[in-house]
Homo-oligomer: A and B are copies of this chain.
Amino acid sequence: MCEHDLHLRVVLNEPLYGGNIGSTARVLKNFGFHDLVLVNPCPIDKEAWMMAQHARDLLGNARICGSLQEATADSNLIVGTTGARGETTGRHLRIPAYPPERIREKLNCKSGCVSIVFGREDHGLTNEELMMCDLLVSIPTSDEYPIMNLSHAVSVVLYELCDIVIGDVPLANRSDLNLLYGHIEDVLRDLNYPVHKRHKTALMLRRIFGRAELTAREVSTMRGILRLTSYHVGSQSGEGSADTRSD
């Protein structure tokens, strides 16, 4: 990937049916993409090769990973897909789930590697997997039958993202982002932020920064602030008196 390029990767996390893997490969090629990564997939069977049709080359080149972390390690942005729009529990975890057109708007004129992660056919992405994502996307389906077939969901998302305008605003690196998020948790701990709210609040901050498409410079500046905070709080050990509202 050149420095000023927007590279789109489709990650199928533990897909259960070869037919869906093959269909997904075809959809990628239909929309001009080529980077398909499979995390612990079912066997690439006859059905997979049949459904791939003229995208068998792309299916053959799909990278197979042992974990979602490995699959997205070099991604500047990780976008998770979810059918549930989180009206009930786990608000910080799922909200906001953007419609695909909003993701297109957000990615316009950016550069970097963006992984779009699709979950298992039966249960989607687990809460742990959703937590690894910076941004969530949800296709606006009918309440009567909201669950789409995996490769159909891929079609809709790639259709929206296939005509993104590539720009020169570089997204922050995954490793810098991970350091930022780790640093946030450290600071919350240093601040004696209530243990039972700490994780939820860290996730809320992750969602805020995730949807802000941070640049490298912004991440660097924020980490500087966090370092300074840790330093001062540390020098007044035990005096953490921060605001502890998590909502």
Give the interface of A toward B (CB within 8 A). 23, 26-27, 29-32, 51, 53-55, 100, 139-142, 144-149, 151-152, 155-156, 159, 162-163
Extra contacts, 16 of them, besides A27-B152, A30-B148 (Cβ < 8 A), are: A23-B152, A26-B152, A27-B149, A29-B144, A29-B145, A30-B142, A31-B142, A32-B144, A51-B149, A54-B147, A100-B159, A139-B159, A152-B152, A152-B155, A155-B156, A156-B159
CB neighbours of A23 from chain B (8 A): 149, 152
User: Please, how many angstroms separate the alpha-carbon atoms of A147 and B142 in the complex?
Assistant: 27
- With contacts A152-B23, A152-B152 known, is A163 near B145, CB below 8 A? no
Name the residue on B nearest A100 (C-beta). B159
Distance between Cα atoms of A176 and B169 in the complex (Å): 54
**Chain B residues near A51 (CB, 8 Å)?**
149
Chain B residues with Cβ under 8 A from A152's Cβ?
23, 26-27, 30, 151-152, 155
B142 touches A148 (CB 8 A): no
Q: Which residue of B lies closest to A99 (CB)?
A: B163
Closest Cβ–Cβ distance, residue A81 to chain B (whole Å): 14
CB-CB under 8 A from A159, the residues of chain B are 100, 139, 156, 159
Contacting residues, chain B, for A53 (C-beta < 8 A)? 149
Task: Considering the complex, give the chain B residue whose CB is closest to the CB of A26.
Answer: B149
Report A67 CB to chain B, min CB distance, Å.
29
Residues on B with C-beta less than 8 A from A141 are 30-32
Residues in B neighbouring A151, C-beta threshold 8 A: 149, 152
Residues of B within 8 A of A163 (CB): 140
The complex places the Cα of A163 from the Cα of B151 at a distance, in Å, of 21
| Complex CA distance for A29 and B143, rounded to whole angstroms | 10
B contact residues around A140 at 8 Å (CB): 162-163
The 19 listed contacts between A and B (C-beta, < 8 Å) are A23-B152, A27-B148, A27-B149, A29-B142, A29-B144, A30-B141, A31-B142, A32-B141, A51-B149, A53-B149, A54-B147, A100-B159, A139-B159, A152-B155, A155-B155, A155-B156, A156-B156, A156-B159, A159-B159
Collect the chain B residues with CB atoms within 8 Å of residue A162's CB. Answer: 140, 142
Cα distance A139–B147 in the bound complex, in angstroms: 23
